[in-house]
Structure 1
């Protein structure tokens, strides 16, 4: 029996930043072979508004609104078709790319969340859409999705060039191990990715007092052993796996982002929650900070 085809939900809002997300999806080899659904929630005019046509003074206004809505629908259909063509041009099969446009039902974020329940393996989004506010790290829809999509990996496309270098933050927690398993399932069969496992221990020492264990795979190191076994078991060559322990840093998130920056790691992978037992947090402090500190980074958040 053939394995089930993985499915990726790619949320688009019609913005130029959304086009960049599609470009990322086309360039990232990890998504080759997946079913990609390009999904847009259309903000249609409420039906109740058209009741105004019954009022003689409102007829012209309603006609104008109908014309505007019709044009917006045409624009988004063209936008989505262009997005689809970008993926086809990047090598995806026609049968593997689907366009889905639906009228808003409960709200953009909530409609996306409902769709994400329909058998997807991950959701791909961007930090911001139409907003151009310089100091805003993420848009309101993205924030809502990060808060509510606790049942599925959320992939946030960054602005850095795509490469085959993935940095995974591990701490020995079940969630971190699931993050490793997700990467293994996505990249293991490809075999041509470099993966670095990073374990950061925060302490009162100054950042420049880092103690590093660089390169190699220390099988005796418990925090790395399980992760290394998962990656190798999925087909990733041992020589493509490296580990590093970083100690003496003030911020674990800062150390992770800094390591990715200095090492040219194109993707950062974190578990949604680490070893913290605080159940009321929808995201752990480290994963949340990585998303905000690494503003240009591609970050995969795994539940």
Structure 2
């Protein structure tokens, strides 16, 4: 089955890194990939449009501006397409698309990604200063915070490693992240996946319904033990991955106990394990720690890593 992803490009080095990441993943990890390169053109001022209806000179300036905008879009899209093709993606699997900015860049990109029913939206992350370490840039930040229906991949720097870490908390949100990962990577005999849990107050997060509605007694039994809860979750997650064609020996489960900071534990694991991709759920159960807390910080703190945020 084809996987459709859309990459927002603007000609910047950060977007080039996002394109390179997709090329890396397509070449080694993701089968049957279709890519749309998307560019949001600068808007034409409304006053110029109004004047163009009654003044020939204004009409001429309008056409010139539209032509320059189109030329810029074609140049950026052409360079990104050539970059993907150098990674080995066939030309017939690459589409280019440019539209004038309608609202703002973030809204227009997200609207295109959701209306086009893409499997993922890929963005480059801007470089961050110390004062900005909890933010990921206005466009990317807006998209991550408001993307409810499409997973967002944020690429920070040059990604070289093919190892994948999926941070899980036992929630339905984490299981959706696993499901997205299984769909995108299924059938690949080379990928190596680690399901990683930080065992901080797990009982506050884990209330997943695995096979049937749980009665109070059975749910209470599951909630008694953090270890039992994650054992059940790992069993279900591994089953989802195996059903997608990923073998059991390609999957590792790991739990970090007694961490003082969930974010620090994940970031250290990424660095020490030389991972290139981190997968997180948008939100978990009850007092779960993802979007708005851990995922934003992981995006900000991980260098040369792509973070998949799955809603």
TM superposition score normalised by structure 2: 0.80
Structure 2 residue aligned with 1:301:
309
Q: Is the 8 A contact 2:44 2:65 kept in 1?
A: no
Structure 1 residue aligned with 2:267:
257
Residues 54, 40 of structure 1: CA spacing in aligned structure 2 closer, same or farther, 3 A cutoff?
closer
- Secondary structure of 2:275 counterpart: coil
2:297 matched to 1:289?
yes
Q: Is the 8 A contact 2:36 2:94 kept in 1?
A: yes
Q: CA deviation at 1:219?
A: 12
2:160 matched to 1:150?
no
Q: Is the 8 A contact 2:40 2:101 kept in 1?
A: yes
2:105 matched to 1:95?
no
- Cα deviation code 1:156-189 (max 9, x no counterpart): 1122433221001111101101111111111121
Using the alignment, how far apart are the partners of 2:169 and 2:13 within structure 1? 37
Residues 289, 220 of structure 1: CA spacing in aligned structure 2 closer, same or farther, 3 A cutoff?
closer
Residues 121, 259 of structure 1: CA spacing in aligned structure 2 closer, same or farther, 3 A cutoff?
same
Structure 1 residue aligned with 2:33:
34
Using the alignment, how far apart are the partners of 2:198 and 2:66 within structure 1? 51
Structure 2 residue aligned with 1:45:
44
Higher relative contact order structure (alpha carbons within 8 Å, sequence separation ≥ 6): 2
- Secondary structure of 1:283 counterpart: coil
Match of 1:239 among 246, 249, 260: 249
Q: Is the 8 A contact 1:219 1:225 kept in 2?
A: no
Using the alignment, how far apart are the partners of 1:230 and 1:282 within structure 2? 21
- Cα deviation code 1:121-157 (max 9, x no counterpart): 11001122xx886743422111110111111111111
Structure 2 residue aligned with 1:197:
195
Using the alignment, how far apart are the partners of 1:22 and 1:152 within structure 2? 18
Q: Is the 8 A contact 1:9 1:116 kept in 2?
A: yes
Q: Is the 8 A contact 2:6 2:122 kept in 1?
A: yes
Match of 1:13 among 2, 10, 17: 10
Q: CA deviation at 1:90?
A: 1.6
- Cα deviation code 1:55-78 (max 9, x no counterpart): 99x969x96786565334313311
Q: CA deviation at 1:52?
A: 4.9
Match of 1:108 among 105, 109, 112: 105
- Secondary structure of 2:258 counterpart: strand
2:193 matched to 1:185?
no
- Cα deviation code 1:215-257 (max 9, x no counterpart): xxx9992232111121122221222211111011111121011
Structure 2 residue aligned with 1:23:
20
Structure 2 residue aligned with 1:213:
none
Residues 172, 284 of structure 1: CA spacing in aligned structure 2 closer, same or farther, 3 A cutoff?
farther
Number of aligned residue pairs: give it: 280
Residues 282, 101 of structure 1: CA spacing in aligned structure 2 closer, same or farther, 3 A cutoff?
farther
Higher helix share: 2
Q: Is the 8 A contact 1:147 1:282 kept in 2?
A: no
Cα RMSD after superposing both structures: 2.9
Using the alignment, how far apart are the partners of 1:54 and 1:198 within structure 2? 61
Q: CA deviation at 1:49?
A: 2.1
- Cα deviation code 1:249-298 (max 9, x no counterpart): 111121011101001011111101122358xx992522232222325421
Using the alignment, how far apart are the partners of 1:162 and 1:285 within structure 2? 26
Structure 1 stretches of 5 or more lacking a match? Answer: 204-217
Using the alignment, how far apart are the partners of 2:128 and 2:291 within structure 1? 26
- Cα deviation code 1:190-217 (max 9, x no counterpart): 12111111110227xxxxxxxxxxxxxx
